């Protein structure tokens, strides 16, 4: 059964249509690569999955529940189990790394401060960022900010994780680090959607792809299917032959 399902998703901004009936699904523990040219509206779909944007029409089913009509209050429960990794990390710049990671735990759990501290140190250790615990976001490199953003998103042990260009603008070292982390989370059975232009990373971590073109999902398939089909749109996209 699909854990995430988008059916006939339509969205426009100021009379400019961006999506005209996008439909796809992601099964539990799968990782879907959502690809397409710049401005195709990939991030809009991702943001809609946690209610940061509202579609004009269509359905967004998370674990069988349509969240389109959910109020901000209803969405809190969804947001506890669906984590979002922002392109730039979106860390709170007035807080240290520790406070950023403690934020979701303090907001949604009754854990004692000592337990929160243990969890944060364990998480930072796993992400190789133990030394950054008392630093502010401004003191971190772009790659570290993205990794901390990922660590923060994982603090509530979400069932689903949405990656918005997690490797954009990173050097190969940090790209590899992010890739490793995504694979580690995938091994734990976390369902994911990855929006990216970094096709080597996407090919390494995704089970299947959906290609967004002309306001719809123009092509879908597993990595193997697409790798072997030289005429597929995604293959042409990877080769830089189409936008």
Partner 1 sequence: MKTPELRIPNRLKEQLEFLGGSTLLAKQTFSEMSTKPFYGSLLVDQIYQIGVKSFPLVFITALSTGMVMSLQYGLGLEKFGGKPYVPRLVASTILREMGPVFTSLMLAARVGAGMASEIGSMVVTQQIDAIRALGTSPIKRIVIPRVLACLIVLPLLVSIANMVGNFGGMVVGSSELNLDAQFYLRRVLETSNLKDYLAGFGKTFFFALFISIPSCYFGLNVKNGTKEVGIATTKAVVVASLLILVGDFFLSKMFWIIEKWL
Which spans of this chain sit near partner 1 (rule: CB under 8 A)?
47, 50-52, 72, 75-77, 79-80, 83-84, 86-88, 90-93, 103-104, 107-108, 152
Bridge partners, 208 (sequence order): 32, 222
Q: How far is the CB of 107 from partner 1 (least distance, A)?
A: 5
* Minimum gap (Å) between residue 93 Cβ and partner 1: 7
Give the H/E segment covering residue 237: helix 233-238
Partner residues linked to 85 by β-bridges: 163
- C-alpha to C-alpha distance for 127 and 153, rounded to whole angstroms: 12
Closer to partner 1 by Cβ: residue 75 or 218: 75
In 82-215, the DSSP E strands lie at 82-85, 160-164, 191-195, 208-213
- Nearest CB to partner 1, comparing residues 32 and 83: 83
Judged by beta carbon, residue 51 or residue 166, the one nearer partner 1 is 51
| Count of CA atoms in the C-beta half-sphere (13 A) of 144 | 15
CB of 76 to partner 1, least distance (A): 4
Cβ distance to partner 1 smaller for residue 110 or 231: 110
CB-nearer residue toward partner 1: 76 or 122 = 76
Could you give the C-alpha distances from 215 to 35, 42, 48, 67, 83, in angstroms and in order?
12, 10, 15, 22, 25
CB nearer partner 1, residue 139 or residue 239: 139
Min separation Cβ 102 and partner 1, Å? 11
Give least dist CB 57 to partner 1, A: 20
Q: How far apart are CA 28 and CA 189, in angstroms?
A: 8
The CA distance from 58 to 71, in Å, is: 16
Strand partners, 66: 61
Taking the complex as a whole, the smallest distance from the CB of residue 146 to partner 1 amounts, in Å, to 12
**CA 9, CA 22: separation in Å to the nearest integer?**
5
């Amino acid at each position: 059964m699909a854990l995430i399902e988008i059916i006939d998703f339509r969205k426009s901004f100021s009379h400019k249509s961006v999506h005209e009936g996008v439909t796809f699904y992601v099964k539990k523990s799968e990782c879907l690569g959502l690809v397409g040219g710049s401005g195709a509206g990939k991030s809009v779909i991702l943001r809609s999955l946690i209610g940061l944007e509202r579609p004009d029409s269509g359905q967004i089913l998370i674990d069988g529940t349509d969240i389109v009509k959910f109020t901000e209050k209803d969405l809190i429960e969804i947001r506890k189990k669906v984590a979002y990794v922002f392109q730039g990390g979106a860390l709170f710049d007035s807080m240290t790394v520790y406070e950023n990671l403690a934020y979701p735990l303090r907001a949604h759990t009754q854990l004692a401060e000592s337990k929160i501290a243990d969890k944060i140190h364990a998480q930072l250790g796993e992400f190789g960022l133990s030394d950054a615990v008392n630093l502010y976001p401004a003191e971190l490199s772009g790659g570290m900010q993205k990794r901390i953003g990922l660590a923060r998103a994982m603090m509530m042990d979400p069932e689903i994780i949405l990656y918005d260009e997690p490797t954009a603008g990173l050097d190969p070292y940090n790209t590899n680090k992010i890739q490793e982390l995504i694979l580690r989370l995938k091994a734990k059975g976390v369902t994911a959607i990855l929006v990216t232009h970094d096709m080597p990373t996407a090919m390494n971590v995704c089970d299947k792809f959906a290609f967004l073109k002309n306001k719809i999902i123009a092509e879908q398939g597993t990595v193997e299917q697409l790798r072997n089909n030289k005429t597929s749109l995604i293959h042409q996209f990877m080769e830089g032959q189409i936008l």
